[in-house]
Structures are given as structure tokens and as C-alpha cells.
Structure 1
Amino acid sequence: MKPSQLQDHLRRCHPDKTEKDLKYFQTLKDKFQKRPTLDRMFASTSQRNDHGLQASYNISLLIAKSGKPHTIGEKLNLPAVEEVLKTVLHKPASDIIKRVPLSNNTVERRIDEMSSDIEIFLCNYLQTTHFSIQLDESTLPDNATLLLAYVRFIMNQEIYEELLFARTLITDTKGESIFHVLKDYFIKEAIPLSNITSVATDGAPAMVGRYRGLISYLKQNVTGVLAIHCVIHRQHLVRKNLSVRLHESLHLVIDAVNRIRSNALNTRFV
């Protein structure tokens, strides 16, 4: 529109604004651009929900690390947050609490999703790098046998150690069965066995047997793999041959520490 037409429109339709300066119209423009719209309202609500979702994942991670029951999120964490908001910040907590889902099933689902994501990332990284692995099988109270596998690798010039998997040995605990569980997992996750540079185990025959141990089967598939006896198991073997005097001294110290730690009020003395 031509300037003359704009001036004519201003005089005829908005006579009360003919004497206003440029700053007034700029203020009107800013107010118009910042007015609440439907898109902005939905975007703001979505952003708040995203923050609540992120808080839900972070708290679920803390619950998983603490080893507490999943119900602690709904029974303790949310009431604690609500009390802090009301007492310290003097803010209404109902709207904020509603945006942070922490029910038992929700926390369990969050933990499963995070663990699955970590496993996928770890397996993808192990597909292209060399690493060492530690294997150990243990029997649970219900007589089920569990195979644990830890990996140690270098990433960004730092050494990391992560739990790779925990699998139940369905048939038996022989070296061949353990090797097949390990091999099947590596095939499933597309991790080459050749990326294993060393393996650490205890001294059980199923692990270090010359002909039917896990290491013998692994060496048949991975040339040059280094077998290491677990240091912790070595310490356990050494402890069996301690002198009587040293054994009694250590036993006395262990009893004293356990007695103190059995009472929460006495733990400050340790």
C-alpha cells in the first residue's frame, strides 16, 4: 500500500492514533507478535511435559542405582518433591507432580528402556573394537545357574568396564555349554569373537580345563587369545594358606567391623 493511502487509512479509521509516535506502533507490533496463540500454547505444554519426562527418567536411573524397590518413586520421591516445593519454594506442587510419572510400572519400564539402550550402544561399539572379557558362573538360591560376562575396553582414551550380559545356563555348567551361550550371544549381537583379546576366569575345571574347558573352546575359535586367572580368585586362594596368627588377627578385625556396621548409629566410628 502506498504511503499516502496508509496515511488516509490512519486518519479515517484510527483518528485517535494519528498523533502517536513511532515507538507506540513498535510497542503494538511487539505485543502482537508475543500474543498467546494456539501453537505456542501447545508448544509450551509439550516442553513442560518433556521436562517432566526427562525428570522421570533421571529419577528412575537413581532408583535403579540405589537398588531400592520401584515403588519408592511414587511413595517417597514424589511426596518429598512436593514437600520441598510447598515449604521451600512456596509454589503449587500439584501441576508439577502430575508431569513426573513415577508409578511402579513406569519406573520399571524406564529402567528397561535405558538398559536396552545401553546394551545396544555397547554392542555396537564392541563390533568395531578389541576388548577383554571376564566370565563367571554362579548358582542362585533357587539352584539356577547364572553366567555373567563383563567387558573391559578403551573408549576416548579411557578404560571402561561394563556388564555385557547375564544369562541362565539351562542345561549344565560344562565348558562347552558356557561357550555356546557366549557364542550365541555374540552371533545375535553381531560381535566378532576375534575382537576378544583376553579372557579372565576362575580356576574351575569348566573354565580352564585343557580339553573341555571354556578357554580351550575359545582358543579353537580365537587364535592368540590370552587366558588370565582372575586376580580376586587368586587372593581367595592365597587367603586359604595364611598363617594361623595372621588369620586370627584378620578374623578379629572383620568381626569388629561387622559388629559396628550392624548398628546404623555406630557406622560413624568406622
Structure 2
Amino acid sequence: MFDQRSAVIASFEVAWLVARNKKPHTIGEDLIKPAAVKISDIMCGHKVAKQLNAVPLSARVIKERISILAENVREQVISSVKKSKEFAIQLNETTDVSSNSQLMVKIRYGGSDEIEEEMLLCSPLDLRTRGIDVFNKVDFSKA
């Protein structure tokens, strides 16, 4: 029996792997799904392969799942920082290989057992790198 909830969970798991391994969003539909279907057809039979074929892994779905996962991680970090008594942020502006200015923002805060460190932002700076431009990028009160 086909379980839609399981297919959605599997889709999220694949999206997590795609994001973690920095692969293109199309890899789910172009490689992962066909490979999983072929393996299951050979090893488990046509019925299981048909179920795996129902797992949504299009590039659009993977992109949406990664966005949902990223928002969830963001909310977890914000919640942890709010619970922490102390935190520090570090801003770094650097120029990438194509001569574009990039702003990176990291945060360190007291976790439950140890100091946690998370990347909050990595974003290009448009045209200028003045203090106000940096401030506007990291002004999370607008978000």
C-alpha cells in the first residue's frame, strides 16, 4: 500500500542530502530517483519500484523542500540564541574570485553544553561596501 506521508518524508530526506552535498537540485529527478527505482525493481520487485517512483523529487520540489528545511534551521538557531545568555557576531567582508564583495556573518552563542557557531548570512554586497550597506544587510529587524 502506497503511503503519501512516507513519500513526502523521503522527499525531504533526499532534499537534505542534496543540500548537504551541494549538488544541483535536478540530481533528484535525473539520478537519485531513477537509480532507486532501478535498484528496488531488481532487488525488491516491481511493486516496490512503483512506490519509489511516486516520491516527488523534481527540481522544483527539491528547491521547496530545501527552503523549508533552511527556514526550520533558521528558526532553531534564533530560538537557541534567544535562550542563550551571551552571544557574539562576527562580520567579514571579502572579495570573491570574480571581484564581487561578499559579506559573511557568523554568530557564536552558549548552547546547552558548549559554545555553538552558526553561519547567519553569506550575501553579496551590492556596488558599495560602506558601513550603512553592511548594516542594511545585517539588519534582521526588517526580515
SS of 1:81's partner is: helix
Q: Structure 1 CA distance, aligned partners of 2:107 and 2:82?
A: 13
SS of 2:23's partner is: coil
Per-residue deviation, residues 219-247 of structure 1 (Å, max 9, x unmatched): xxxxxxxxxxxxxxxxxxxxxxxxxxxxx
Cα 1:188–1:122 change in 2 (3 A) is farther
Match of 1:188 in 2: 142
Residue 25 of structure 2 is aligned with which of 65, 70, 73?
Answer: 70
Instruction: Return the TM-score normalized by structure 1.
Output: 0.47
Residue 123 of structure 1 is aligned with which of 53, 61, 78?
Answer: 78
Residue 151 of structure 1: how far off its partner (Å): 1.3
Match of 1:104 in 2: 59
SS of 1:109's partner is: helix
Identity %: 28
SS of 2:117's partner is: strand
Residue 59 of structure 1: how far off its partner (Å): 0.4
Give matches, 1:83-162, under 5 Å.
83-92=38-47, 93-98=49-54, 100-129=55-84, 130-162=86-118
Structure 1: stretches of 5+ with no match in the other structure = 1-43, 190-270
Task: Output the amino acid matched with 1:178.
Answer: V
Say which one has the larger Rg: 1
Q: Structure 1 CA distance, aligned partners of 2:125 and 2:97?
A: 14
Match of 2:15 in 1: 60
* Structure with the largest fraction of helix: 1
Work out whether residues 80 and 111 of structure 2, in 8 Å CA contact, stay in contact via their aligned partners in 1: no
Match of 1:166 in 2: 122
Cα 1:68–1:180 change in 2 (3 A) is closer
Structure 2: stretches of 5+ with no match in the other structure = none
Residue 180 of structure 1: how far off its partner (Å): 4.5
Q: Structure 1 CA distance, aligned partners of 2:112 and 2:19?
A: 26
Q: Structure 2 CA distance, aligned partners of 1:84 and 1:170?
A: 47
Q: Structure 2 CA distance, aligned partners of 1:82 and 1:180?
A: 47
Per-residue deviation, residues 34-87 of structure 1 (Å, max 9, x unmatched): xxxxxxxxxx76xx1111100000000101111111111011111111122112
Residue 170 of structure 1: how far off its partner (Å): 2.7
Residue 149 of structure 1: how far off its partner (Å): 0.7
Higher relative CO (Cα under 8 Å, sequence separation at least 6) belongs to 2
Match of 2:4 in 1: 49
Task: Output the amino acid matched with 1:112.
Answer: S
Over the aligned positions, Cα root-mean-square deviation in angstroms equals 2.2
Alignment coverage as a number of residue pairs: 141
Work out whether residues 91 and 103 of structure 2, in 8 Å CA contact, stay in contact via their aligned partners in 1: yes
Work out whether residues 171 and 177 of structure 1, in 8 Å CA contact, stay in contact via their aligned partners in 2: no
Q: Structure 2 CA distance, aligned partners of 1:155 and 1:66?
A: 26
Cα 1:122–1:103 change in 2 (3 A) is same
